[in-house]
Chains A and B, each alone.
Chain A
């Protein structure tokens, strides 16, 4: 895990053997700097994992969330469209979600490029989630996370949400990329 966190801040070429599989999609972008340009350091964007700070882009009340767990089976972390569990670090005073609550969120924007079936890739400048559920003390097992807690969504939303069955978010979105 420490190695994974360290690799998140790695610069330059993808020399990390263990995570080199993850960067197969990034090879296109990193090929331009493969030829020994150490000075221009491109950040290798990776998964959303425990400790990642994410913006919240709806009006549920939360502003910043720190990822606790990615609900994906992939042990490397969450990507665009996956659901994460997070702890609210910052919230507006009057909102449904308060600071310190544990929430479920779906990643709507990720700095890591997401490849599409037609050969294109999309990446955003930041990491952002939309809150889709609040974790209760009663430990009720929730399976479906379809309904966002807020009523508005800000910023662009990729149409990967359609595949992930997050149709409400698509309906509320300002702009679908």
Chain B
């Protein structure tokens, strides 16, 4: 992003600033301010609309510090600049600096595209936790799960067993339960935030020195039997 700003001619920047962006708070600042100090005198500030901006800039502290410096510089030497709303005279600039200083602490960080899935997953987990809180489950726990199966339509099915593995994937975080049922080993993978699961309870814990207990498949059935 920053490099593309370097290559933009000043005229283009002029056009960019003419975007009808109304925001009382000065939310974003292009990084070219820090990269291209020569054009700073003509363009004091770019204010980009928080939602309407195409550039999606994220602010790091370096830019913020430099912004503060430039704002103070521009407080005295304020030529007429390109159609940025609200900046009128030197006196107004000082006020704006203060206002921007306060606005900066209230400003929400720009959401990067790469963070979107993480945020969505967190929100979905919060919703699920409100309905049913999920205990802390680790490999080696012996848990009991009460599951509602729409096919069964009877009492809740109960699954007991040792947690062989836990795969973290946001809302689709799953645990793999192993148990010997009627002589045959059965492994079931449960998504722990599923609404079908009515209860998860940790019964006990077995000390294991692995994150995934696939070795239990080859061991005696006695090790996977839980009353």
A and B: bona fide binding partners: yes
| Cβ B186 vs Cβ A125 within 8 A | yes
| Cβ B187 vs Cβ A122 within 8 A | yes
- A contact residues around B212 at 8 Å (CB): 32
In the complex, A124 has a CB within 8 A of chain B: yes
Given A42, A159, A162, A175, which contacts B181 in the complex, CB threshold below 8 Å? A175
Docked Cα-Cα span, A119 to B151, in Å, equals 15
| Cβ B182 vs Cβ A174 within 8 A | yes
| Cβ B186 vs Cβ A177 within 8 A | yes
Give min CB distance, A35 to chain B, whole Å: 12
Given B167, B184, B189, B191, which contacts A31 in the complex, CB threshold below 8 Å? B167
In the complex, B226 has a CB within 8 A of chain A: no
The DSSP consensus for interface residues of chain B is strand
Proximity string of chain A (104-139) to chain B, C-beta cutoff 8 Å, 1 when within and 0 when not = 000001000100001111111110100000000000
Docked Cα-Cα span, A10 to B216, in Å, equals 20
| Cβ B184 vs Cβ A122 within 8 A | no
| Cβ A121 vs Cβ B189 within 8 A | yes
- A contact residues around B186 at 8 Å (CB): 122-125, 156, 177
Q: Contacts A31-B167, A32-B167, A119-B191 given: A124-B185 contact, CB under 8 Å?
A: yes
| Cβ A125 vs Cβ B194 within 8 A | no
- B contact residues around A28 at 8 Å (CB): 167, 174, 189
The size bracket of the interface on B is 20 to 34
Proximity string of chain A (2-46) to chain B, C-beta cutoff 8 Å, 1 when within and 0 when not = 000000000000000000000000001101100000001010000
Docked Cα-Cα span, A124 to B191, in Å, equals 18
- A contact residues around B167 at 8 Å (CB): 28, 31-32
Q: Which residue of B has the minimal Cβ distance to A31?
A: B167
Give min CB distance, B149 to chain A, whole Å: 7
Docked Cα-Cα span, A53 to B16, in Å, equals 71
Docked Cα-Cα span, A118 to B151, in Å, equals 11
Docked Cα-Cα span, A177 to B167, in Å, equals 22
Proximity string of chain A (146-177) to chain B, C-beta cutoff 8 Å, 1 when within and 0 when not = 00000000111001001100000000001111
| Cβ A155 vs Cβ B182 within 8 A | yes
| Cβ A155 vs Cβ B183 within 8 A | yes
Q: Contacts A155-B182, A156-B186, A163-B151 given: A118-B194 contact, CB under 8 Å?
A: yes
In the complex, B201 has a CB within 8 A of chain A: no
Docked Cα-Cα span, A147 to B186, in Å, equals 25
- B contact residues around A128 at 8 Å (CB): 184
| Cβ B151 vs Cβ A122 within 8 A | no
In the complex, B217 has a CB within 8 A of chain A: yes
| Cβ B172 vs Cβ A119 within 8 A | yes
Docked Cα-Cα span, A100 to B185, in Å, equals 30
In the complex, B152 has a CB within 8 A of chain A: yes
Q: Which of B183, B190, B212 has most A Cβ within 10 Å?
A: B183
| Cβ A122 vs Cβ B188 within 8 A | yes
- A contact residues around B214 at 8 Å (CB): 40, 42
Give min CB distance, B43 to chain A, whole Å: 49
Docked Cα-Cα span, A155 to B184, in Å, equals 7
In the complex, B196 has a CB within 8 A of chain A: yes
| Given A118-B191, A125-B186, A177-B188, 19 further pairs, Cβ under 8 A | A28-B167, A28-B189, A29-B189, A32-B165, A40-B214, A42-B214, A118-B196, A121-B188, A122-B187, A123-B188, A124-B185, A124-B186, A156-B181, A156-B186, A159-B149, A174-B182, A176-B157, A177-B181, A177-B186
The 9 closest A-B pairs by CB, nearest first: A125-B185, A121-B189, A156-B181, A119-B191, A175-B182, A118-B196, A155-B184, A155-B182, A174-B182
Residues of A that sit less than 8 Å from B by CB:
28-29, 31-32, 40, 42, 109, 113, 118-126, 128, 154-156, 159, 162-163, 174-177
